[in-house]
Amino acid sequence: MNVLPLRPEVENESASGRKAAAAMIEIDHVSQTFQTSGRQSHLAISDISLTIEDGAFVSILGPSGCGKSTLLYIVGGFVNPTEGVAKVKGNAITGPGPDRGPVFQEFALFPWKNVLGNVMYGLRQQGVPRAEAEAQSRRLIEMVGLKGFENFYPKELSGGMKQRVAIARTLAYKPAVLLMDEPFGALDAHTRTRLQNDLLNIWERDRKTVLFVTHSVDEAVFLSDKVVVMTRAPGRIKEIVEIDLPRPRRRAELLLDPRYQKYVVEIEKLIDDTGIAELHP
């Protein structure tokens, strides 16, 4: 197995330049059944197999209830699959850990800590001395554009700012994988596009592996190298679409790019077909 992780040395690198990168995440015939109240059980996802290469930005896209968040939680180790196995770097996932850092739609910031305290949390947890942790955190806070807000508490911040703190907090403990669960879903459209751009800028620096859950087709196409389209519950993989668009991606250019538009239309059709197929089997 070729284990060269690619780093962006060349401008406008295309997806086809990324050849046999190491498998960072392997999802092997994973299914998840939930017990709802009483004797009912709900099959959320069914027999999902998926490989995600190191350094890839992969979106999981699908209608509500298709189990995409569940899949993310399984990779994160927050939920154990009822069937199948998920692995990171070849090791089976048994629980959460700093190698897979989550960013949630609800931000999940610690309300009893200010911005600096939140971002420092992971570093302090790993035993980094206070002064060093603080210095690293301040750099990160500046990188996500919140310089000057270090002593603010989450309740004093807007939604977009909270999500930036959440991203900084996760990046602080340097996970190999970023797990993002509809992170911009609770934000207004304008903030959403700004954060999408900022996320790509941050990601370009060290090209972590990203697993990004969303129900927005244009968001998925804009951000990712690959889009995994899922069916309605029980969720299966309908199709995986490779997004062959050059990086770095600029929204203004991309919106007018016919290739981008074709991807969006194609994938929207896939999702529509999913719905109709379920109604008329």
Partner 1 sequence: MNARALSTDVLLGIAPIAMVIALWQALVTFGYAPVSLLPPPGLVFVRLAQQLVSGGFLHEIGATLFRLFAGFSIAVILGVGIGLAAAVNPAVNAVVKPVVRVLAPVPKVALYPALLLLLGFDHASKITLVAADALFPILLSTYYGASMVEQKLIWSAMAAGTPRRQILFKVVLPAAMPSILTGCRIGLVISCIVVFLAEMITSTDGLGHLLVAAARTFQTVDMFVPLITISLLGLILNGLLHGLRTYLLRGFPEV
Residues forming contacts to partner 1 in the complex (CB under 8 A) are 76, 78, 95-98, 100-102, 104, 106, 108, 110-114, 121-122, 125-126, 153-155, 169-170, 173, 175
Nearest CB to partner 1, comparing residues 144 and 229:
144
**Nearest distance from residue 78's CB to partner 1, in Å?**
5
Contact 183, 203 (CB under 8 A): no
Contact 141, 147 (CB under 8 A): yes
How far are the Cα atoms of 8, 45, 66, 160, 197 from residue 144, in angstroms, in the given order?
Answer: 20, 34, 31, 11, 11
**Nearest distance from residue 153's CB to partner 1, in Å?**
4
**Nearest distance from residue 161's CB to partner 1, in Å?**
14
Nearest CB to partner 1, comparing residues 98 and 145:
98
Nearest CB to partner 1, comparing residues 101 and 235:
101
End-to-end CA distance of the chain: 41
Q: Tell me the torsion sign for CA atoms 38, 94, 73, 49.
A: negative
Q: Report cis status (omega within 30 of 0) of the bond before 102.
A: no
**Nearest distance from residue 222's CB to partner 1, in Å?**
25
**Nearest distance from residue 192's CB to partner 1, in Å?**
20
Please provide the DSSP assignment of 161-215 as one string. HHHHHHHHHHHHT--SEEEEESTTTTS-HHHHHHHHHHHHHHHHHH--EEEEEES
Please provide residue 14's backbone torsions phi and psi, each rounded to the nearest 5 degrees.
Answer: -100, 160
Nearest CB to partner 1, comparing residues 14 and 126:
126
Nearest CB to partner 1, comparing residues 123 and 271:
123
